[in-house]
């Protein structure tokens, strides 16, 4: 039973290595790396935009709360 698990893990690691090699050196690899960069930049922009929105809403809520107390 343990041999089956080891063999399966070894095969999966070899398949992953081949897939990585194809992704790095294969046809369209430059497009793939460019797409990964674009996706990363979009995700960062969405994250930063969300943080700014939350900070703005918090500041607005605090300032409107102070105006109501005055």
- pLDDT computed for residue 43 by the predictor: 97
Please give the Cα distance from 12 to 18 (Å, whole number): 10
- pLDDT computed for residue 1 by the predictor: 63
Is the Cβ–Cβ distance between 66 and 60 less than 8 Å?
Answer: no
Terminal-residue alpha carbon distance, the chain:
74
pLDDT tens digits for range 4-52: 999 999 999 999 999 988 888 888 888 888 999 999 999 999 999 999 9
Please give the Cα distance from 51 to 58 (Å, whole number): 11
Please give the Cα distance from 22 to 26 (Å, whole number): 4
- pLDDT computed for residue 70 by the predictor: 59
- pLDDT computed for residue 66 by the predictor: 77
- pLDDT computed for residue 65 by the predictor: 79
pTM of the model: 0.59
């Amino acid at each position: 039973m343990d041999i089956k698990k080891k063999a399966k893990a070894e095969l999966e690691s070899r398949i992953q290595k081949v897939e990585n090699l194809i992704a790095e050196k294969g046809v369209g690899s430059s497009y793939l790396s460019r797409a990964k960069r674009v996706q990363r930049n979009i995700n960062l922009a969405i994250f930063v935009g969300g943080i700014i929105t939350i900070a703005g809403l918090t500041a607005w809520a605090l300032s409107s709360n102070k105006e109501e107390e005055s």
